[in-house]
Structure 1
Amino acid sequence: MVRTPHGAVRGRYEHGIAVFRGIPYAAPPVGPRRFRPPEAPEPWAGVRDAAAFGPTAPKPPYSGAFALYLSDPAVPGDDCLNLNVWTPEPGPGARLPVLVWLHGGALTRGSSAVPVYDGRTFARDGVVCVSVNYRLGVEGYGLFPDAPANPGLRDQLAALRWVHQAIAAFGGDPDRITLCGQSAGAISAGVLLAAPQTQGLIRRAVLQSGPPEVSERDRVRRMVRRMAARLKIPATAEAFAAVDRDLLLRTQAEVGRLSSPVLGGPAFGIVVDGDLVPGDPLRALTEGGAARDVRLLMGWTRDEYRLWLVPGGLVERVDRLGPVALAGAMARCHAGADVARGYRALHPEAGTAEIVGQMVTDHLLRIPLHRLADARPGGCHLYEFAWPSRRPGLGACHALDLGFVFDSGAVPESTRLAGEGAPQELADAMHGAWVRFAATGDPGWRSWDASHPVRIFGDGDGDGDGVAYTAHGPRDAQLALWPAAATLPRPAPDPDIRAPGAELASAVRRLRRSVGARRR
């Protein structure tokens, strides 16, 4: 039994690890709290059972193609603002390092109940692990004239404050908190790093396949407006709150089905709100001095794009579209023809889908993460995950690294993406690096400097043992193709001004129509 700020909870010992699941850190976001910032939960009397995962945030299921690869359990209930704690030594006095996990899922899917995110292995190795649920989709990131922006991000801040206040009772050290996330979780972690309200709460941070970024307000607003048009209601929080939740989720899935990191389109995202997100977070971290004392571990997978393109059969379609697809990617990435020609020269055997995928990955992930590392020499460690899945066509795709970071390759949900027979020695190497970083700030390889050291996991090449080795500037030739202007963060447009770039939107629409026509 452990006492939290709002009441006592009773967990369970599993494999020698104390586990507490479903602890509320905020009140249920229902009724008048819907679409509003989180509020503290009501204190409870007695001892609350914390044996099972709490309710997950409302979300649509993955489409059939993606569900073959990704697990996303749903737990019904309103009390979805909850978290889980794995600890080897509950009780004050242990002062162990703490890792707080923010799941990915494009801010529309995912939860802390995904079996791949089992925190037991971190606790086994001396790190208190906390995983967090937060609001998703239109309820977490819809942009309305009558409600504050970014309630899902505000949920994460509330959870982080809860951890800072309560984790000592679970054996954790509130002064050694590592905020860690993947994909949308990494984007969230990066934005929180730059937020004035988190100063002093985060000691270290891990950004896996996601840079600090904000979405254009118009892009998010278009998502809300399209949902409103289908529902035949005003695009207000009051009107959306009156819609049946299942209908709302179905409408959200329908409107967002053609949006992807490669094709673009309207989507939910974190926006500048003048409060929690006062400006561009990448600029704040690279030029404004935000979180200068926070050490960073950042990286990507070698073939991020394959999870975006393979499940729906888009690799073959993009290859057939050829120049049309490449033109769409150039517009999407604000890149000229010389950039595309440079990728062709560096990868002469690659098909169009690989060229497009690598260009978009560089634009969205590698360029901003390199910029962040360049601005903080000595304070960052970079990695690339290169082991290819045993599932056909996936390569070293987005999210494949998670089963290795959590050392959870034995669970069936990990094999959906990795296939059978994932190497345990690779999990030992990656998981061990994350444990060392959470404990000491040093994952075990050279920090970023002018030689651009990058730890490569699972390549089998280089001067290492095939599990991990350090390469210097492995992406430099690719990233040098981009003009300096392409690496600068773009300010979010004024809420009352339509975002510029009509030629970009037109090119992306043409690509999406071409893909849709071929799909039909």
Structure 2
Amino acid sequence: MTGAPIVHTASGPVRGSWRDAGTPNASAAYLGIPFAAAPVGELRFAAPVPPEPWTEVRDATSYGATALRRDPGGTLIPEPPIPGDAILNVNVFTPAVDDGAKLPVLVWIHGGGYTEGSPASPWYDGSRFNRDSVVTVSLSYRLGFDGFGYIDGAPHNRGVLDWIAGLEWVQRNIAAFGGDPGRVTIGGQSAGGGAVLTLLSMPAAQHLFHGALALSAALADIPADVAKERGERLAGILEIEPTLAGFRSVSESRILKNQPKAVGGRKGLGLLSGLIDDGLPWGPIVDGELVLRPAADALRDGIGADKPLVLGATDDEFTMVADRAPRALRVVPSTALLRGVLRDRGVRRAYLRANRPQRAKGSAAMVGRFVTDHVFRSLVVRVAEARREADAETWVYALTWVSPTKGWACHCLDVPFWFDGLDRERVSDLAGPNPPQSLADDMHGAAVSFVTGGAPGWPAWRTEPGTARVFGGHPQITTTAYDNTLALL
């Protein structure tokens, strides 16, 4: 293990760096390797194309440019923006192994609501998966309107095409890093989990991976007519034609500044109501060409049924947002608050009955739980049931462990446990100063078991509908973890 590690990819050689050299946990990192050319100039708003090949050894010891252009501030996961045009790149973390080792591979797709997020987060470092003989890849993709906006004359779902191009890069190159292209699991959290479900439901992506791990998945499934209307609204704000030429005439910074205005620009409780009424503002479009149908419908029809899936959510993904509600609103009865979004009286009453313990915590807690169930937890049940109808192997989990700093089992809390990264930057902000390593051992161990062997270690959903592994609570295996969402289905 002398000298910098060099790997020859299909595009050219890259030089990485060793970590923990000379120890049993030694691994190598290769950062910022382009899987596609920079999407600028004539390639702006175009489908990704392969990068120009190179012959000299390319330095891959620092993260590449990100689609994230600014630090959004206050995010739960540290996700740094890195300037530059070559934003379509991968990061590969691999054990110190020889070519041809054929280790299983986890490809990670970051979250951020399809508008933010960065593959350069220290939370996504794959060294602990490397310790357990799993090659790990994180990939980038175009965000917001650049990646998902409807433009007359441009391909739809450019961000989805980026995911596919990244996975194609893995198929061509991962063997050189000790990985097995025939044992690829895709994983992601939040919008990244939604990306996983979108890819799992797409006929065009089936040959690129062999298993799926969807954590707190947030699906967009934006109807084409809605996406078109949002694109036209943004064009109107920018005072341009809603065409490829029109949007190319506007700087990236102007689009980034104005894209929130095209979908209301909501924050706080407005964000919650927007998620309920309109869904995510940007994300995969059901265009009938690449994304043929809403994900759950395609999964029910058997797309991706040959691939195992693990999915789940935390108990209170977004409840902490409702904590910041004005005091006057927090004393409004939860029945009154939910009346505007759950208009069916019978459904509303059934949902409130099923959530009596949460209702006892106050109106803000109840509204936060409803948004969590509406966006995340009911989706877990819909997907699990769709897959059961297709006779597809599916495992469900729930995280109930409560953040000592946020007061809830909140959004993003599970990520450092899955990655066994409790010692990483800013984890204590979310998980407290002494998060339980035993929980990380359980969750990371389940992920490793799934990636390496195709099963996480508890009974599948179809053994008895409702079966889930509860992390952080008792009993560990239950059939009732998601019962409180059933009224919404």
Give the alignment's TM-score, normalised by structure 2: 0.89
Task: Please name the residue that 2:3 is paired with.
Answer: none
Give the one of 159, 162, 165 matched to 1:158: 165
C-alpha offsets along residues 153-208 of structure 1, whole Å, 9 cap, x if unaligned? 11000001110111111000111100001111111111111211222221110011
Deviation track 1:113-132 (CA, whole Å, cap 9, x = no partner) reads: 01111111111111000000
Among 95, 102, 106, which residue is 1:95 paired with? 102
Does the 8 Å contact 1:190/1:213 carry over to 2? no
Structure 2 distance, partners of 1:141, 1:270, is 6
Instruction: Verify the 8 A CA contact 1:381 1:446 in the aligned structure 2.
Output: yes
2:377 partner SS: helix
* Alignment match, 1:295: 308
Identity %: 38
**TM-fit CA distance, 1:220:** 3.3
Contact map agreement 1:103 1:182 (CA 8 A) in 2: yes
Is the alpha carbon distance of 1:392 and 1:304 closer, same or farther for their aligned partners in structure 2, counting shifts above 3 Å?
Answer: closer
Structure 1 residues 39 and 456, CA gap change in structure 2 (3 angstroms):
same
Which residue is 2:23 aligned to?
A: none
Task: Output aligned runs, 1:416-495, within 5 Å.
Answer: 416-448=429-461, 449-450=463-464, 452-459=466-473, 461-462=474-475, 469-476=476-483, 478-482=484-488, 487=489
1:389 maps onto 2:399 in alignment: no
Tell me the distance in 2 between the aligned counterparts of 1:222 and 1:327: 28
Which residue of 1 is the match for residue 325 of structure 2? 314
Find out whether 1:365 has 2:379 as its counterpart.
Answer: no
Write the letter of the residue equivalent to 1:112: P
Structure 1 equivalent of residue 18 of structure 2:
13
1:258 pairs with 2:266: yes
- Show the counterpart of 1:410: 423
User: Which residue of the partner structure matches residue 501 of structure 1?
Assistant: none
Match of 2:342 among 325, 330, 334: 330
Task: Report how many aligned residue pairs link the two structures.
Answer: 467
- Structure 1 residue 424 displacement after superposition: 1.4
Give the Cα separation in 2 of the matches to 1:316 and 1:25: 50
User: Cα offset for 1:380?
Assistant: 1.1
User: What residue in structure 1 maps to residue 9 of structure 2?
Assistant: 4
Q: 1:424 is aligned with what amino acid?
A: Q
Q: Structure 2: how far apart are the matches of 1:384 and 1:334?
A: 28
Q: Distance in 2 between the 1:141 and 1:50 partners?
A: 29
What is the letter of the counterpart of residue 440 of structure 1?
G
Kindly indicate whether residue 144 of structure 2 is the aligned counterpart of residue 137 of structure 1: yes
Choose the corresponding residue for 1:47, options 39, 54, 57. Answer: 57
Q: Distance in 2 between matches of 1:117 and 1:316?
A: 37
2:217 and 2:191 map into 1 onto residues whose CA distance is 6
Identify if the C-alpha distance between structure 1 residues 317 and 129 changes in structure 2 by more than 3 Å, giving closer, same or farther.
farther
Work out whether residues 378 and 486 of structure 2, in 8 Å CA contact, stay in contact via their aligned partners in 1.
no
Can you give the 5+ residue segments of structure 2 that lack an aligned partner in the other structure? 1-5, 21-25
> Among 283, 292, 301, which residue is 1:278 paired with?
292
Taking a change above 3 Å as real, the CA distance of residues 427 and 271 of structure 1, as seen in their structure-2 partners, is same
Letter in 1 for 2:195: S
Distance 1:254 1:415 in 2: 34
Pairing partner for 1:208 from 201, 215, 219: 215
Instruction: Indicate the RMSD between aligned Cα atoms, in angstroms.
Output: 2.3
Equivalent position amino acid for 2:35 in 1: Y
Mean alpha-carbon deviation: is it higher for 21-30 or for 299-308?
299-308
2:154 aligned to which of 147, 154, 171: 147
Find the partner of 2:39 among 29, 40, 44. Answer: 29
**What one-letter code is carried by the residue in structure 1 that aligns with 2:66?**
T
- Aligned-partner Cα distance in 2 for 1:47–1:2: 9
Where do 5+ consecutive residues of structure 1 fail to align? 463-468, 488-520
Aligned-partner Cα distance in 2 for 1:334–1:254: 33
Look up the equivalent residue of 1:283 and give its one-letter code: D
Match of 2:198 among 191, 197, 203: 191
Whether contact under 8 Å (1:208, 1:298) holds in the other structure is: yes
Q: In structure 1, the residue corresponding to 2:342 is in which secondary structure?
A: helix
Please state if 1:80 is matched with 2:87.
yes
Task: For residue 369 of structure 1, report the CA deviation from its aligned partner.
Answer: 2.1
Of 170-179 and 142-151, the range deviating more from structure 2: 142-151
Distance change (3 Å), C-alpha of 1:316 and 1:405: farther
Q: What is the CA–CA distance in structure 2 between the aligned matches of 1:309 and 1:278, rounded to whole Å?
A: 35
